[in-house]
Amino acid sequence: MATYEDVAFDFRSDTVTLPTPDMKAAMMEAEMGDDVYGEDPTVLALQDRIAAETGMEASLFFPTGSMANLVALMAQTEPGRQLYCGARGHVKLFELGSFASLAGLSQVDVPDTHGFLDLEQLQKVWAPEIYYMTQPGIVVVENTHNIGGGLIYPVEELVDLHRFTQEKGVPLHMDGARLWHAAVAQGRSLSTWTRHVESVMLSVSKGLGAPIGSVLAGSKAVIERALPLRKLLGGGMRQVGQLAAAALYALDHHLVLLARDHTRCQEVFGTIKNLPWLEAVAPQTNILIIHTERPEAGDLVAHLTERGLKTLAISPSTVRAVFHLNLTDEACERLADAIKEWGRTR
Ligand SMILES: *Cc1c(COP(=O)(O)O)cnc(C)c1O
């Protein structure tokens, strides 16, 4: 069992957070009903709220972001078509190929080095409209970009991309697992981005501190198709009002804390950015990506573990540290110091 003390030093992900006592109390109070019959009032309240905040017609609660992303694909395109997404995107790398095995799509890489899809590069690989060629089915963008280091999708890039996908008549889906982070970091509304996509997925279990849950928002037509698809995948849930209550609590009380995560991430970056034996990506939100000079990510992670700090090696030469609401100032200072120390001992 993880304790609050454990997660206070755990930088592996912002998913490791534990519900606070007050969040648990809010969960205990939740009104519930059978959500497969659409009768859970707390789930309905959450879905209405997310639809309103994203400016979408409707939304649907999911157990995971992966399932919501998959359903977004299945609801908006058909097997045999192509998925265009970032070469380092979550949908491509961390969802076990469900776009292929379950949605029946093939995947086309688009460079996403800076966290957004390069429109010129996308146009270069875009399949021509010829009946004997495999046709585009959907485009997926990620905001913030996880592996890129929590990078925020520039709105102007999204506008240009959406103009292109609209011309082509292909839906644009946003994997917005951390869209709230982008909104808080730039002091903008969710709709700043969501008005330029057909559907969006947001997670309440990433940094906001709810134990579980993601929401897919889109047009009424998309969400009506998504409902039976969620059931098909085993995601039809019953009395889950307690989980929706945790999500609502997180939005009311934890959203403001994201700014603190961003500040702490900046501070650690500030301490380590000039170290010659590593290259840290300047963070825009709560994810710090550190590239080591040689393939020694495992060594750095082990060094930090010895000092009671958990981080994640996401490639042989890349370490990720993610900032969340259960961390302490002490943990962040210790992380910065320990990274500096590693260089001297290695
Ligand atoms: C975490 C994450 C998801 C969804 O993950 P689940 O663990 O299935 O909830 C999707 N996209 C991004 C960018 C993520 O970081």
Span 96-139, pLDDT tens digits = 999 999 999 999 999 999 999 999 999 999 999 999 999 999 99
Q: Give the CA dihedral 87, 94, 324, 191, nearest 10 degrees.
A: 60
Residue 346 has pLDDT above 90, yes or no: no
In this structure, what token pair is assigned to residue 108?
Answer: 């086309």
> 185, 182, 184, 177: which is closest to 205 by C-alpha?
177
pLDDT at 334: 97
pLDDT at 1: 81
The stretch 19-42 carries a mean pLDDT of 98
Q: How far is the CA of 131 from the centre of ligand 1 (A)?
A: 35
Residues paired with residue 107 on neighbouring β-strands, in sequence order: 83
pLDDT at 280: 96
Pocket test for ligand 1, best of 13, 66, 202 (most atoms within 8 A of CB): 66
DSSP string spanning 232-251?
A: HTT---SS-HHHHHHHHHHH
Pocket test for ligand 1, best of 178, 181, 204, 206 (most atoms within 8 A of CB): 206
118, exposed or middle or buried, with CB in 10 Å at 0-12, 13-18, 19+? middle
pTM confidence score: 0.97
Atom of ligand 1 nearest to the CA of 95: 8
Pocket around ligand 1 at a 6 A CB cut-off: 64-66, 69, 90, 142, 146, 175, 177, 203, 206, 214
> 47, 19, 108, 18: which is closest to 244 by C-alpha?
47
Q: How far is the CA of 59 from the centre of ligand 1 (A)?
A: 17
pLDDT at 335: 98
pLDDT at 343: 83
Q: How far is the CA of 158 from the centre of ligand 1 (A)?
A: 20
Closest Cα to atom 3, ligand 1: which residue? 65
Average pLDDT, the chain: 97
325, exposed or middle or buried, with CB in 10 Å at 0-12, 13-18, 19+? buried
H-only helix segments in the chain: 4-7, 21-28, 41-54, 65-76, 90-93, 98-101, 119-125, 146-149, 155-168, 179-186, 191-194, 220-232, 241-253, 258-272, 297-306, 329-345
> 305, 312, 310: which is closest to 290 by C-alpha?
312
Atom of ligand 1 nearest to the CA of 63: 9
Buried b (16+ CB within 10 A) or exposed e, 161-192: bbebbeebebbbbbbbbbbbbbbbbeeeebeb
Closest Cα to atom 5, ligand 1: which residue? 65
Pocket test for ligand 1, best of 16, 73, 203 (most atoms within 8 A of CB): 203
Tally Cβ neighbours within 10 Å of residue 249. Answer: 24
Sign of torsion over alpha carbons 87, 91, 94, 96:
negative
Residue 263 has pLDDT above 80, yes or no: yes
pLDDT at 10: 98
pLDDT at 22: 97
pLDDT at 345: 79
Pocket test for ligand 1, best of 90, 193, 208, 215 (most atoms within 8 A of CB): 90
Count helices and strands (H / E) in the chain: 16, 11
Query: Are 175 and 206 in contact, with CB atoms under 8 Å apart?
Result: no
101, exposed or middle or buried, with CB in 10 Å at 0-12, 13-18, 19+? exposed
Longest Cα separation, the chain: 61
How many Å apart are CA 276 and CA 299, to the nearest integer? 17
In this structure, what token pair is assigned to residue 8?
Answer: 């206070």
Residue 218 has pLDDT above 80, yes or no: yes
Atom of ligand 1 nearest to the CA of 145: 13
Task: Give the pLDDT band (50/70/90) at residue 183.
Answer: very high
Atom of ligand 1 nearest to the CA of 206: 1
Question: What percent of the chain shows pLDDT beyond 70?
Answer: 100
The stretch 260-265 carries a mean pLDDT of 98
How many Å apart are CA 150 and CA 144, to the nearest integer? 5
Residue 301 has pLDDT above 80, yes or no: yes
The stretch 217-232 carries a mean pLDDT of 98
The stretch 180-209 carries a mean pLDDT of 97
Task: Give the pLDDT band (50/70/90) at residue 222.
Answer: very high
> 141, 262, 133: which is closest to 196 by C-alpha?
141
Query: Are 197 and 216 in contact, with CB atoms under 8 Å apart?
Result: no
Q: How far is the CA of 122 from the centre of ligand 1 (A)?
A: 23
Residue 255 has pLDDT above 90, yes or no: yes
